[in-house]
Structure 1
Amino acid sequence: MAAKLLTRQDYGRRIARAIALIAADPARPPSLEAMAEAAAFSPFHFHRIYREITGETPAETLARERLSRAAAMLVREGMAVAAVAKRCGYGSAAAFTRAFRAGYGVAPGAYRDSGGIGQRLPQPRLENSDMFEIAIRDEPPLRLASVAHRGAYQGIGTAFDRLKAWARARGLETPGTRWIALYHDDPSSVAERDLRAEAGITVPEGVEASEGVTLHTLPPTRMAVLVFRGPYAELERAYRWLYRDWLPGSGEEPADQPAREEYLNDCRSLPPAEWQTAVMLPLRPSPGGAAP
């Protein structure tokens, strides 16, 4: 059994190299031979091993990376459809439009012009903040295995792909697993290349760090939680509302911890309009209450 586990872990490490190759430039996808060479597998067997370790094919990983980056360019930067198609490696604007419509259920131009397809947040009425769907709850300490990500936040999916391969190779992915990202910087204040984040997965005691995966424990924390429904590219809308509209009128103070996101359902099996993300703002202990 020990030998089998070590072999599976080795496979996960090698497939992670292929994932990194795909994510390096989705506009110029690597060949089968290049991916197989990066993972040190025969091209005859690479696709099957990749699918068993990651749960999807290399083509599906590439399509997901492309559409995720395209959505961010459209809704955050307001880029022209043809320019996004070119930047993301599609052969034509028409091909991009077909792929985007199939993935997001709407044409890219309409997606950009409407500001996205995610839920709309209420207008601020600070004198009646109870109307907002914010849950304040105490989070227990969490043991997290994480992969560091540096750069544009919408690129953190690559870190999660690497982490998923690492976790699957060790049998760590269970129905109770929580997928959590930590975001250390404000993307409006810090240069994109310097943004710091971590892709994380909850793990039990006894798991050891390896292959660029680090382990740490998140402390028990009081949290303000907003569950956002829609594409990840639109999550900045939730952050703006939390910090600009909710927090000043809430009577709360943010704690000295990074913001978190918890991904509540599977983006690989659901359309983007149905993705659910808990945006979590750490808070100081309530007045008169003990520190968590």
Structure 2
Amino acid sequence: MIGTLNALVDLVEQRHDARVDVPAFARAHATTEYHLRRMFAALAGMPFSEYVRRRRMTLAAADLVRGERSLLAVAVRYGYGSVEAFTRAFRSVHAIAPADARRTGGPLTTQPVLRFRLSVEGSTPMDVTVTDRPAFLLVGHAVEVPLVHQGVNPHIAEHVASIAPEEHARLKVLGATEPVGEPAGILAVTLGPDPDAAEGSPLTYLHGVAVRDGAPVPSDLDAIPVDAGTWAVFGSSGPFPDTLQQTWAATATDWFPSNPWRLRPGPSIVRYLELTATRATCELWMPIEPA
């Protein structure tokens, strides 16, 4: 996977003026677009589309400062059909207009070429179980919230706080199948957004439990059907939410690059075994398939 990601970065450098065909690239490298974009975002700290935009605007700024091409010629060279669209993209990266960059030379925000490397120094020991599960339903209270990469998502915290204690107790009794097993804890389920989505993009969060496929669902609860398939279950214990987010990141840096599995579309599930205001013992369930 590390070599594949570096090849994708090289392709970006070769195709400044055209859309990078990520689905075709993924097929040629025996993986999926979904897994490729998820791994890129996890390791690079930004979606692939954002990296492409930053690199193109970095090179476009150099062209403008050199003054060798007209503003329209620079826009076309980097894949934009109009000066207006190019100006919006340029301003979103550099916070100044292209004409100002040409006149003053900056300040400009540079995006270096990424290079992925697999390092074993300080690697994170991982407690992982691979398990096959039949189809099931995730049932609970769902809400659409903006994506937050680091720290507690305040929108999710507000949603959970709005659920009455007696409702938590009712949900625990409903839980009837793995990844719950017994009425011992609530599941935190995230579905979407697109694997290339930027921070702030909408995602669905469900606070609930798992029930058997086909089980009756109370009319006041939301339900997310989950197909049968294989799951990687990562154990996590420590300060919350830092340890859980570090475990999530380590799946991309340590586990997936060294194991014959890749992500498949589906919800990500956190099963809380013990949770306080500052610490959590939990399991991270991620849908996978053979690579």
State the TM-score, normalizing by the size of structure 2.
Answer: 0.44
Greater strand content: 2
**Greater Rg, structure 1 or structure 2?**
2
- TM-score when scaled to structure 1? 0.44
